Amino acid sequence: MEPARPVAAAATARPGYNVAVGYLRAFSRLLVFALHAVVAYYPGPYPLHGDAARISMPVMDVRHFAGARILVAFNEISLMSLLFFLSGLFLWSSLSRKGAIGFFRERLVRLGLPFLVCGGVVAAIAYYPAYLQATPDHPSLAGYAQTWLTPAHWTTGPAWFLLILFIYDLIAIGLYLAAPGWGQRLALVAAGARERPLRFFLVTVAISAVAYLPLAMLLGPYDWWHWSIFWLQKCRVLEYAAFFFLGAAVGAFGLSRGLLAPDGALARRWGWWGAAAIVVFLIAANVLRKTTTHGLDYHPLWGNIANIGWVICCAVCAFALMAVFVRFAKRTPLLDNFANNSYGMYIVHYMFVTWTQYALLGAAISPIAKWLCVLAVTVTGSWALAAALRRIPAVGRNI
């Protein structure tokens, strides 16, 4: 991930800043905040169990609303793959300019240190309400520390994304050391995407299918690997990597002359991509709901139909969002400020989510109102905190 540079320099002063990409990345993080805010009011079906459920849904309210399924399904299908794609866009330009050592140092500071803060300090604060909910009679900080700090229970929350992204960056560094020109060759995959985005879309679907489908049927579509602080959804380890390096291909070819060109075919046909995303999402989400509700994840027919639908929907929605933002993104001071702070907001937001959800458990208001309250507190609180932290020069230079 290439976070926005801080403050003191407004986004307008940054050479090469791409408004559409910057705003889409910020919007994707906003969707993460909305997802985390709504899962407490999600009515099911629940495909996650045990540790995976604990990391994803730490605070659960007894009040739910059906509309939460739409947001959860959309994020579950498309969001993280899109975030890895966007993170890959600046990989080659940064790696080729700074070299392996310089790039490693930058990634270590921009991803490694935020991971420790997000997965350590923020997560420790964020998961305490779940402990309070689970042990209402005799909660204690000592009891929580004993539970949370054991390797089997250390839950890093949203920080898992930063660690996996750092691992993909390490793979890119290894490739660079072995073949310094690999990015230029990878760029050929995205050649022609400016006028033929459908062709690149089909390439994306094909690569994603090869990366995702075998693991999804073998390991299941929802199980997670968990080794101490390392969390990753089993079947998506290769799929996320595929989107990351496909993003690297687009970036290596050139943002202004490739898939994301402002006057390219993707932007011109944004309406078709948007309509296709809505149709495909409605079909895929309902099929996935059927397989989850009836325990058909491993069924030879329904399981494969659901997994194929997931792959296609993931790519269609990602391309549709990119098309809309490339076509319509226009700078405003407020959106610039939000985009510049969104990475810092991602790092600190989870503690605002869980504590607000916990505070509202007994509130006699509708679950929709609760969700909106949680989202409002999360956005405003994390925005203010991120902006304040970025005024510290050492912090502001890196998030």
Render pLDDT for 288-330 as a digit per residue (tens, 0 to 9): 999 988 888 888 899 999 999 999 999 999 999 999 999 999 9
pLDDT at 61: 92
Residue 4 lies in a domain: no
| Residue 38, in any domain of the structure | yes
Residue 116 domain flag: yes
Q: Does 3 have pLDDT greater than 60? A: no
User: Residue 227, SS3?
Assistant: strand
pLDDT digits 0-9 by tens, 336-380: 999 999 999 999 999 999 999 999 999 999 999 999 999 999 999
Q: What are phi and psi of 185, to 5 degrees?
A: -70, -35
144 vs 228, which has greater pLDDT? 144
**pLDDT of 59 strictly over 80:** yes
Domain count across the chain = 1
The distance of Cα 224 from the centroid of its chain, to the nearest Å, equals 16
Q: What is the pLDDT of residues 142-188, one digit of tens each?
A: 888 777 666 556 678 899 999 999 999 999 999 999 999 999 999 99
Q: Look-up: residue for tokens 């304040």?
A: 388
Residue with tokens 């609303």: 65
What is the reported pLDDT for 138?
76
pLDDT bracket for residue 10 (50, 70, 90):
very low
Say if 361 falls within a structural domain: yes
Q: Quick one: tokens of 29?
A: 């993080």
Is 128 part of any domain? yes
> 4 pLDDT exceeds 60?
no
Residue 2 has pLDDT above 90, yes or no: no
Tell me, what's the pLDDT at 225?
A: 80
pTM of this structure: 0.92
Please list, residue by residue across 175-200, b when 16 or more beta carbons sit within 10 angstroms of its beta carbon and e when fewer do. Answer: bbeeeeebbeebbebbeebbeebeeb
> What pLDDT does 12 receive?
43
Backbone angles phi, psi at 225, to 5 degrees: -85, 140
Give the list of residues 6+ apart from residue 111 with CB closer than 8 angstroms, or none.
Answer: 1, 162, 163, 165, 166, 169
- Alpha helices of the chain — where are they, by DSSP H? 19-38, 50-56, 68-74, 80-88, 91-107, 113-116, 123-126, 128-134, 141-148, 160-178, 182-186, 197-219, 237-253, 265-268, 270-293, 302-328, 333-359, 367-389, 393-396
* 51 vs 268, more confident: 268
Q: How far is CA 364 from CA 184, 210, 215, in A?
A: 58, 48, 44
Q: Which of 3-12, 129-138, 192-201, 332-341 has the lowest mean pLDDT?
A: 3-12
Q: Per-residue confidence at 229, pLDDT binned at 50, 70, 90?
A: confident
Percent above pLDDT 70 for the chain: 93
Could you tell me the residue range of the domain that residue 135 belongs to?
11-396
2, part of any domain: no
Q: Is residue 5 part of a domain?
A: no
Residue 269: pLDDT band (50, 70, 90) is very high
Residue 34 burial (CB count, 10 A): 21
